[in-house]
Structure 1
Amino acid sequence: MVLIGLPLYEIARRYKKSREAAMPVPRLERTPERVERSNSHELHTKSLIGRKVKSRDDQFVGHVIADADKSIIVLGHHHYRFDIPKSKIQQITKDVILSQEYETIFTYSKPRTTSIDKVSVTSSE
């Protein structure tokens, strides 16, 4: 991948992605194992990492970057970071749908510079 010497519009044309585009997830995260969630009777994959997060009114919130014991860590657009409790998850399908409206999700906002190590993150084994 050679970017030196290319004009900015050419770099943007080749590599720019939509904010709502799916994040690339390593193959290790795409496990075929299935587990049943207590708040839903459907079967879902174990890993939430890389999934889109939407509010109840279908507004895009961000992507899950870490799955902690009692919460999920979501990175959104405009440098927003949210530590959302798992009890606020309404449904898990291809996307994670929260049980709250978009405006109320900002109560879970954290500074983006807060270390993820301070949250006890579970391994995705």
Structure 2
Amino acid sequence: MDFIKSVGGSEAEFVIEKRLTVSDVNPNQGRLLIPVLQLKNKKGFVTADEETMMGMKEDVSVWVFDPERRKSTLNLAKWKMSKECYVLKTKWNHVVKTNGFKEEMVIRVLSFRVDHQLCFLLDPVA
């Protein structure tokens, strides 16, 4: 939480604790799936406007801070697969490679806002 405050963040929400799957770290997939049914905060972390954008198949540009607190700009989408999922994509492979994320690692994902910008913080669980 200190980091979030240090970058001017507010509205911090715990999104998910996820064990990375082979598809989450596969460079051919290039995305992190966040199943809606596994969200810790059922009210969600996106605004009504962001939800509308994703409903119209538009991506939402988000900032992602990795465990070393490096910022990357990724896209957030919502896919209807067998289950509805939020998806962090575009540059996800860079985040995986830079941080050495591997299958079976557990990460905690938090969301927050800097002004109106949606941000995510990724932290490995020891």
Q: TM-score with structure 2 length normalisation? A: 0.31
- Which has the larger strand fraction? 2
Return the structure number with greater relative CO, CA threshold 8 A, min gap 6. Answer: 2
Q: TM-score with structure 1 length normalisation? A: 0.32
